[in-house]
Amino acid sequence: MKKSLLLIVSALSLLLPPLCAQVSPAWFGTGAMEQLRLLDARGPRTAGSAEEKAAADYIALELASLGYSPLVQSFTQTARIGGKDAVIRSQNIIAVKPGTGAREIIVGAHYDSAAEGNGSDDNASGVALLLEMCALVQSRSLPFTVRFVFFGAEEAGKLGSDFYVSAMDPGEIAATAAMLNFDSLIAGDKLYAHGSAGARGIVRDWMLAKAQAWLLPLIAQSGKNKKYPAGTTGDWSDHAPFEAAGIQYAAFEATNWDFGDKDGYVQTQSGFGVQGEIWHTKFDTLAYMESVFPLRAKEHLAAYSRLLFAFLTEYSE
């Protein structure tokens, strides 16, 4: 394990820019793609399984190798799975990057997966992005303290994020400026930014404006499904418990809100995956996605990485 970890760190050090250097747009997504390949090779990581725990251990080792002191937040919850109650033992992995101000931002992605496929899109892609970002900002001055949270057991009903929010005290909630969630970033046709409804969607709108200035293809869903007002999304990922606690959220995904029931569940044309859905199917592997969409994973990760880096280094309330 120690030898393989050293090899991984060495590979990442060649892929990322020097910490003292400006980050060229060409760098973004490079380290994330390396991490995506490593996570995809692990196969499925179902909630509460030994494979999920091994993935958590891997994430913690990677964070330690980058100079963080990862925190493990263990939890045990009961979930309804397949019509039966199941006891799930899992953990969140947390890395804290102190900032110069008193306010905090939470950046999250879940690392567990469905039973089919390798969970490459859902959600090794989000984990890979966060690991790259941890490396890019580790030695940089940030205006906010950033808590990178790798959630366990999202696929069992957002258990990790529910537990995380339940452990926050009122002062921590009040100090949190926003929660940014990254879930399923590479399979879908279009890059989306969702956020809190109305004027509270400040982070979403900041990201959309930055993307427009840089000519990046980030959009908000237009509200064709009346259940989901324009610019918002459903409560099916880890942003939802934070929104319920009154924390502004921004959620990012790659899918296609113009297909199916116009709720984002159909990611691409019906000839791919299972009638256009790749997540939660046997097609959620990097090999499949690179065979049908050869450049999509790198392009999507690069765009989201560039935007997230800009947000963490430039954003002010």
What does each C-alpha distance from 23 to 16, 70, 302, 305 come to in angstroms? Answer: 9, 25, 12, 11
What is the Cα–Cα distance from 264 to 261, expressed in whole angstroms?
A: 8
**Alpha helices by DSSP H, 150-275:** 159-166, 170-175, 202-214, 240-244
What one-letter code names the amino acid at 240? A
- 139 in Cβ contact with 42 (< 8 Å): no
Question: Are 139 and 145 spatial neighbours (Cβ–Cβ below 8 Å)?
Answer: no
- B/e letters for 11-45, b = 16+ CB within 10 Å, e = fewer, are ebeebbbeeeeebeeebbbbbbbbbbebbbebebb
DSSP letter at 17 equals P
Amino acid at 233: T
Catalytic residue numbers read 154
Residue 308 C-beta-side C-alpha neighbours within 13 Å: 35
Alpha-carbon span 227 to 130, nearest angstrom = 30
Q: What DSSP line would sit under 33-44, residue for residue?
A: HHHHHHHHTT--
Question: What is the residue-wise DSSP string for 263-282?
Answer: SS---S-TTTTBTTB-TTST
Place of tokens 């969607």: 201
**Length of the chain measured in residues:** 317
